[in-house]
Structure 1
Amino acid sequence: MKVLHLISGGDTGGAKTHIINLCSKLKNLVKLKIICFMYGPFYDEVKNAGIDIDVIPQRSRFDLSVVHKIYQMIEHEGYDIIHCHGARANFIGMFLKRKVKNIPFITTIHSDFDLDFQDVFYKRIIFSYLNKVSLKRFDYFISVGSALISKIKSLGIDEERIFLLYNGFDFAKEISFEEKDTFLTRYIDKSLYQSKTIVGNLSRLYKVKGLDVFIKAANLVVKDNPNVIFLIGGSGPQKEFLQNMINEFKLNDRVFLLGNIKNPYDFFNAIDINVISSYSETFPYSILEATALEKCCISSKVGSVPDLIEDGENGFLFEVGDYKELSKKIETLLNNKELITTFGIRLSQKAKEKFSAENMAKTQFEIYKKIMQKR
């Protein structure tokens, strides 16, 4: 079986991590190739993972000259399945499907497509619309979490054309990270974090990530807990807004914006409690990355996160946007440090059993076989 994956190549979030983890294992089950539309960190990481990848550059998002080039590649190399990831690849896939006959087109839905571009007005209006138009042209859909299935069905898609595939992580791979002091002293003075519990949130600085919830919770926690600080890792358009929040709450020595983090494991190694405060998610990879280091996690009750985190058993969940509940969950852990370790171990064990990259690749292969049988 030969599968061609299409993806933008500028991806920095879960889609990037998903396709690298997936294809690093799937390449042992099918003959696959990835095409992206720009050079950058994504291309480099995929190449370094030993996955077959090429770039067909686009001059702009609407440069459709790449369609014919991909079509020629399909005709020459004889692919059985075309598999797209993300709005740009979906847009290209819509035009490619008009030229390619009798080959199933699949797209993986990595996030809520109504929220993908909400931070930039014109992108929200134009790109969200074009993506939904493109999605309706596909034959089959893969949802990376159970919570997204109803969203896909809202496009008028029959449930029999939708498959569930949880994100998976390669827990067997070697993980490298800097020493805690080496990493932290690059951003803050040692006296500000020494002997303190560190609560972290690693995400892109977008509205949907709910970092305002995280800061509001921190504002409540620090009032009665002098030995805790809060770190936010990531970059994005909300940086100024979030810094203003920190200034207004007078949290400059308790909450820190670290900026872009090249290696997430540097961040997760340095913190004690990992927080996901998003308003919407499917299945965030940051939880799986943190569990690889046995980090305790508190998350908003979004997407398929409850399929991994069992509230009070291996972590904590809180209602979306409820910063008061989040603050109480953090304080519970601060008052019971042993629970931080216990939750971290339990969560890691469940993640390794049910959310491995090997399981993800095997499930994807079975999905491909079912689709080929349908055709």
Structure 2
Amino acid sequence: MNKRRLNVLYIAHEGHMGGATRSLATLAKLIQERGHNVTVALPFKNSEIRNELKKNDVETIVQFYTWCQYPENEGEFVKRIYQLGYWLNIFFEKKLYRKIRKRQFDIVHTNSSVVDIGIDLSHQLKAKHVWHFREFGEEDLGTKYVRGKEKSMNMINQTVDKVIFISEAMEKHYADWIDAEKRQVIYNGIGNEYLYEKEGREDKEKVVFLISGALQRGKGQACAIKAVSILKSQGYDRFKMVIAGRNIANYENILREMVKEEEVEEFIEFRGFVEDMRTLRRECDVELVCSLKEAFGRVSVEAMMSSNPVIATKSGANPELIQNEENGFLFEVENPKELAECMAKFLENPQLIVQMGKTAFERAKKTYTAEKNAVEIENLYYQILERKQ
């Protein structure tokens, strides 16, 4: 295999540093450090992702473009806006192509299933197209394809060279749409800066649970609040729960109202969006992942890297990451009673936090590093290009 220097164009789908975009920033940095020429196309100039890439001297090209999916539950007007934006992408794609047409890109790598401009760009640039599917879509984001799922998936399957799925659960979900030879599972990689091995547990007065991620229904914060209410009714009082995440569509107001109704204000603390999650995790003991369906579970891996055991739903990729009673516990989706039972196990026996935390740390360090992820993706690039010759 001829491992020459590659020219890679990444296509981002958002401006803020959500989980998928943090993964992109790390991947672009590491692929560049491995000797390749990296450029990242961004839809917004003033954005968190652009600032992060600049810190690492990664080249960016800014050209507005829109999603090929729309949010299902935000009304007909919003749907029409997304539909209009999608068809205007024909114009936006041409502008982006004019900016990069003289470049000899080998790979166009789309970072999310919600943007599809990589289809035409890769064809025009005569480059191979790798597409990262990091979302289930309807099940986790609550989005639908503008052109309809069947037509969109057929187009993807006919044009893409490889689809990277971030979990076996995701690959299985899309197996009916994407040919087997075009599917590849590569787990997300998390940077070593998240690694923090706790030697033991300080003699804390309270066990601190953390649930982090965007504040929206699909992330399951409401289930966690109900579990706290159950624990209170059972007489547990030596704990608190921290809720951290970006407020989506004012969902935080709904959660705060629920906290009042359940009369658990003394047990729950809202932190809002937290820039420095590593420091917050060192303050916490156990993390909750209550999502309806998690495509991978970056939050789970970051928790494990911080030596925190995880209580997660038995859905999506969670059972691939969390081994029940080894590095955490699993519970049924939207079952606050079962979640409360799992939380109570740590309250009854805090030493489990140390034991499971060590297991979680070792597994994450071995399996989910950013370096491992970058090497696997680099090898995939070479395999695709070798088939071309």
Band of TM-score, shorter chain: 0.7 to 0.9
Q: CA separation of 1:297/1:242 partners in 2, compared to 1, >3 Å: closer, same or farther?
A: same
Distance in 2 of aligned mates of 1:262 and 1:131: 35
- 1:148 deviation in Å? 0.4
Deviation sequence 1:334-364 (CA, Å, 0-9, x none): 1111110111121011101111111000100
| Matched pairs, number | 350
Kept after mapping to 2: 8 A contact 1:113/1:132: no
Structure-to-structure mapping, 1:248-267, within 5 angstroms? 248-267=261-280
Distance in 1 of aligned mates of 2:101 and 2:62: 18
Deviation sequence 1:284-308 (CA, Å, 0-9, x none): 2112222332122111123333333
- Which amino acid counterpart does residue 72 of structure 1 have in structure 2? R
Match of 1:190 in 2: none
- Say if 2:293 is the partner of 1:280: yes
Larger displacement relative to structure 2 (65-74 or 17-26): 65-74
Kept after mapping to 1: 8 A contact 2:290/2:333: yes
Q: CA separation of 1:128/1:207 partners in 2, compared to 1, >3 Å: closer, same or farther?
A: farther
1:78 to 96, 104, 128: 104
Q: TM-score, normalised by structure 1?
A: 0.85
- Which amino acid counterpart does residue 202 of structure 1 have in structure 2? S
2:346 to 308, 333, 346: 333
Match of 1:69 in 2: 95
Kept after mapping to 2: 8 A contact 1:58/1:66: yes
- 1:160 deviation in Å? 0.7
- Say if 2:135 is the partner of 1:111: yes
Q: CA separation of 1:174/1:229 partners in 2, compared to 1, >3 Å: closer, same or farther?
A: closer
Deviation sequence 1:229-286 (CA, Å, 0-9, x none): 1111112232122122212111112123222222222321221111111111121211
SS of the equivalent of 2:241 reads: strand
Distance in 1 of aligned mates of 2:27 and 2:65: 25
Distance in 2 of aligned mates of 1:252 and 1:308: 32
Match of 1:56 in 2: 63
1:31 to 27, 30, 37: 37
Distance in 2 of aligned mates of 1:298 and 1:148: 20
**Runs (4+) off by over 6 Å:** none
Distance in 2 of aligned mates of 1:47 and 1:173: 21
- 1:168 deviation in Å? 0.9
1:47 to 50, 54, 57: 54
Match of 2:236 in 1: 225
- 1:15 deviation in Å? 0.7
- Say if 2:164 is the partner of 1:158: no
Kept after mapping to 2: 8 A contact 1:14/1:284: no
- 1:172 deviation in Å? 4.8
Identity %: 22
Match of 2:201 in 1: none
Q: CA separation of 1:70/1:116 partners in 2, compared to 1, >3 Å: closer, same or farther?
A: farther
Structure 1 gap segments, 5+ residues each: 176-193
- Which amino acid counterpart does residue 12 of structure 2 have in structure 1? I
1:5 to 2, 10, 16: 10
SS of the equivalent of 2:40 reads: strand
Larger displacement relative to structure 2 (140-149 or 299-308): 299-308
Larger displacement relative to structure 2 (341-350 or 314-323): 314-323
Structure-to-structure mapping, 1:1-375, within 5 angstroms? 1-29=6-34, 30-38=36-44, 39-58=46-65, 61-62=85-86, 63-64=88-89, 65-90=91-116, 92-97=117-122, 99-101=124-126, 103-118=127-142, 124=144, 126=146, 132=153, 135-136=156-157, 137-155=159-177, 157-172=178-193, 195-223=205-233, 224-234=235-245, 235-237=247-249, 238-375=251-388
C-alpha root-mean-square deviation of aligned residues, in Å?
2.5
Kept after mapping to 1: 8 A contact 2:108/2:128: yes
Kept after mapping to 2: 8 A contact 1:2/1:79: yes
SS of the equivalent of 1:22 reads: helix
Q: TM-score, normalised by structure 2?
A: 0.82
Deviation sequence 1:88-134 (CA, Å, 0-9, x none): 532x2234355344x2212100110223542xxxx647487596576
